[in-house]
A = this chain, B = another copy of it.
Amino acid sequence: MTLIRQLSTPAAVVDARRMQRNIERMQSRMDAFGLRFRPHAKTAKCLPVVQAQIAAGARGITVSTLKEAEQFFEGGIADILYAVGMTPDKLPRALALCRRGCDLKIITDSVAMAREIGSFGKRHGAALEVWIEIDTDGHRSGIKPGDAVLLDAARALHDAGMRLGGVMTHAGSSYDCDSREALLAISEQERAGAVLAAQRLRDHGMACPGVSVGSTPTALSAARLEGVTEVRAGVYVFFDLVMHNVGVCTTDEIAMSVLTTVIGHQEEKGWAIVDAGWMAMSRDRGTQKQKHDFGYGQVCAEDGAVLDGYLMSGANQEHGIVSRAGEPDLGIAERFPIGTRLRILPNHACATAAQFPEYQVLPPEGGVQAWPRFYGW
């Protein structure tokens, strides 16, 4: 049995008990709403993680790349929403997945692209399932719920014989919230916008079976979800310091951290240098503009206990600088001698996880199991 002290560093360590609790917390919330939960697999890109979500009750998954769709379909998951706007060049790859039996749903937010999907589908005798992306907070893509373009896009799909699966939205600006009131408001805005868009389609005689919403903050905050048929969320499976600042998790719920080794010091500056730099942590500084800036991450002991005030304050490619916030710790070389193992909680789990070919998973029964993850497109 591999032990954590045998791992070479840096390593992406996953606390399986915390991950399982996060999965159950979200699933039981969705079960209470009586809604389908479709987790976003982009955070972990790891089959055993998705299998744990499905075992807990998730139905289908969301992906951010066609590679994820292909990998998870190979792993036995057929119901997949590819939640990034379709383009002409990606249609053959999407069609190939459908032909292999994948129940793939694609999205668009453009009339021109809806027409292109329609003519491609007709040309290949395929009634592709397409969802229309709705913009409920102005942060990225999507058609505004009240925009006439919504009806034009839906009609273009319908007229070409494509299947309109529904409308979907992602209120990504929920990441900017840090109060219960703001989270409630953005959740309701996300819900109401998606429901309005669906209603407008139905009012014009078009079937719109699905109404899909979600982000980790809104999924964990929404007080009501009337009219919604499914919810999506991704980062909740690991959580991170950004989510901690948003107010939807504690640091004790963060399931992924980077195991690192102290490689040196600059004693007079109060620095310990560790072998996790930005290549391990990623360059994500998501907490920089939040109420608590954690630098490149919160330092914990090897057993995961948070070491209050110790942050990764700087990072080069393979060097991290660990220091105490405020007054420098001039005794840091004695506190963390060379060879000391630390764990760093990440700003953004999706970005940090992406730097590693595998997770080192710590199951409740002890030992370490390696779970592979994939990357690329």
| CB–CB A321/B140 < 8 A | yes
Is B84 a contact of A140 with CB atoms below 8 Å? Answer: no
| Cross-chain contact A9 with B275 (CB below 8 angstroms) | no
Q: Do A88 and B338 form a contact, CB below 8 Å, given A140-B316, A266-B141, A319-B140?
A: yes
B84/A263 in contact, CB under 8 A: yes
* CB 8 Å contact bits of A339-353 with B (1 = contact, 0 = none): 100000000101100
B residues less than 8 Å from A266 (CB atoms): 135, 138, 141
CA distance A110 to B338 in the complex (A): 9
How distant is the Cα of A140 from the Cα of B275 in the complex, in angstroms?
12
The residues in A between 78 and 107 inclusive whose CB is less than 8 angstroms from any CB of B are 84-90, 93
CB distance from A134 to the nearest CB of B (A): 12
| Residue of A89, A113, A172, A356 with most chain B CB atoms under a 10 A cut-off | A89
A316: which B residues are within 8 A, CB to CB?
Answer: 140, 172
**Beta-carbon contact of A89 and B339 below 8 Å:** yes
The segment from A185-193, A206-214, A248-256, A277-285 found at the interface with B is A277-285
Indicate how many identical chains form the complex: 2
Judge whether A87 and B338 touch: CB under 8 Å: yes
**Residues from chain B with Cβ under 8 Å of A356 in the complex:** 376
Q: Does A369 contact B (CB under 8 A)?
A: no
Residues in B neighbouring A140, C-beta threshold 8 A: 273, 316, 319, 321
Which residue of B84, B172, B318 is within 8 Å of A65 (Cβ)? B318
A89 surroundings in chain B (CB, below 8 A):
8-9, 261, 339
Give, as a whole number of angstroms, the nearest-CB distance from A34 to chain B: 29
Query: A10 an interface residue at 8 Å Cβ cutoff?
Result: yes
CB distance from A14 to the nearest CB of B (A): 16
Within the complex, the shortest CB–CB distance from A183 to chain B, in Å, comes to: 19
**Cβ–Cβ < 8 Å partners of A172 in chain B:** 316
Q: CA A36 – CA B348 in complex, angstroms?
A: 41
Contact of A20 with B by CB under 8 A: no
Q: How far is the CA of A89 from the CA of B263 in the complex (A)?
A: 10
Contacting residue for A85 out of B86, B264, B357, CB 8 A? B264
Q: Which residue in B88, B261, B283, B337 is a CB contact (below 8 Å) of A339?
A: B88
Closest Cβ–Cβ distance, residue A20 to chain B (whole Å):
24
Q: Beyond A172-B316, A338-B110, A338-B113, is A87–B263 a contact (Cβ under 8 Å)?
A: yes
Q: Give the distance to chain B from A333, nearest Cβ to Cβ, in Å.
A: 9
| A195 CB-CB contact with B under 8 Å | no
Q: In the A-B complex, list the 10 residue pairs whose CB atoms are closest, starting with the nearest.
A: A85-B263, A283-B283, A357-B376, A283-B284, A64-B318, A85-B264, A88-B339, A87-B261, A84-B318, A141-B264
Query: Measuring CB to CB, which residues of chain A are less than 8 angstroms from any residue of chain B?
Result: 8-11, 42, 64-65, 84-90, 93, 108-110, 112-113, 116, 135, 138, 140-141, 172, 261-266, 273, 275, 278-280, 282-285, 316-319, 321, 337-339, 348, 350-351, 354-358, 375-377
List 14 A-B residue pairs with CB atoms under 8 Å apart, sorted by A's residue number: A8-B90, A84-B263, A85-B338, A86-B263, A87-B262, A87-B275, A90-B261, A112-B338, A140-B316, A141-B266, A141-B319, A282-B283, A283-B283, A317-B350
